[in-house]
Structure formats: C-alpha cells, structure tokens
Amino acid sequence: MKPEVVMIGLGYIGLPTAALIASNKVNVFGVDINPNVVETINRGEIHIVEPELDSAVASAVKNGFLKAGLKAQEANTYLIVVPTPFKDKNEPDISFVEAATKGILPLLKENDLYIIESTSPVGTTEKMMDYIYAERPELEGKLHIAYCPERVLPGNVMHELVHNDRVIGGVN
C-alpha cells in the first residue's frame, strides 16, 4: 500500500515520530541509509534506547502501519529528520538535509507537504525550497513547505512528542 508519510532519518527523533504517526493508523514509510537500522525496524525491534519506543514500534510494524527501507517511496508528506552536526568553527552542516531532499526530488508532486524537522540554521528551509524548485520548476509554488524543529528530550520522547507545544514556520 502507498504510504501517506515518508520519514527520512530513523534515529532518536525520526523513529519515535514515525511510530507515533503509525500508531494513529497512518501508513508510514521510514527511510534510513543504515541497513542495520532498516532491518531492525522491519523486525519490529529498535536500535536505540528510549522508554516505550519498543512497544510502539513493535505494534506499528505488526499492524502494518510502519515499514522501513533504504530508499524513499512516493507519499503525500515527507519529513526530514536527519542529523545536522557542526563542521569546523561551529558551522552547521546541512549536507544530510540536502542529501535527504535530493533523494525525494523525483517523487514530489503537486500539493505534497515537505517538512524539515532537523535543527537547522536560519534560511535552510528557503534554501531547500529554492533547490527543489530549481530541480523541479514545474512544481514551483505547488508544494507546501515548512520547518518544524523537534524539541523533545531523550528519555521522555514518547510523552513529549504528544504534549510539547511546537513551532511551525511555513514558507507559504
């Protein structure tokens, strides 16, 4: 079945978010470049330590709402939750966000929603928007593009994902 949501990056933030969405009976396809992560999740198991995440992933996978793979599939919503580390001199490295965005470029279609959740420097969302529209000019102005940085603390993620307030910035 075609997923509704594609979650790119299945780490401390992406996997709990994917499991939470899937637990609401929404089909989620998770993407990660690490084959061990993909295989572990498809067995209904987890590769990180986070309270309550094991049961959430196990039931989401068992009920067929969460699957993982190495390459993105077509969906209606794409969430980018990849690392954004620092390079030398405290300069943010958004190359993972760029790589994840490149991976979904051919899949994007009118009315799709693209959300960056990775903690990113000011201007990243517009930079990615410009990149997407440069590569797919026929879609210009026809996508929904937003930034919604994650604010949860590891150790209480499953609770905070539901109960923390969020900041959402849309470019349109």
Q: Is 13 in the site for ligand NAD (CB under 6 A)?
A: yes
SS3 116: strand
Q: Is 12 in the site for ligand NAD (CB under 6 A)?
A: yes
Q: Is 84 in the site for ligand NAD (CB under 6 A)?
A: yes
Q: Of 13 and 60, which CB lies nearer to ligand NAD in the complex structure? A: 13
Count CA within 13 A, CB hemisphere, residue 20: 15
169 close to 148: Cβ distance less than 8 angstroms: yes
Cβ 24 to ligand NAD shortest distance, Å: 20
Interface mask toward ligand NAD for 130-159; x: CB under 6 A:
--------------------x-x-x-----
Q: Which residues bind ligand NAD (CB under 6 A)?
A: 8-14, 31-34, 37, 81-84, 96, 99-100, 118-119, 150, 152, 154
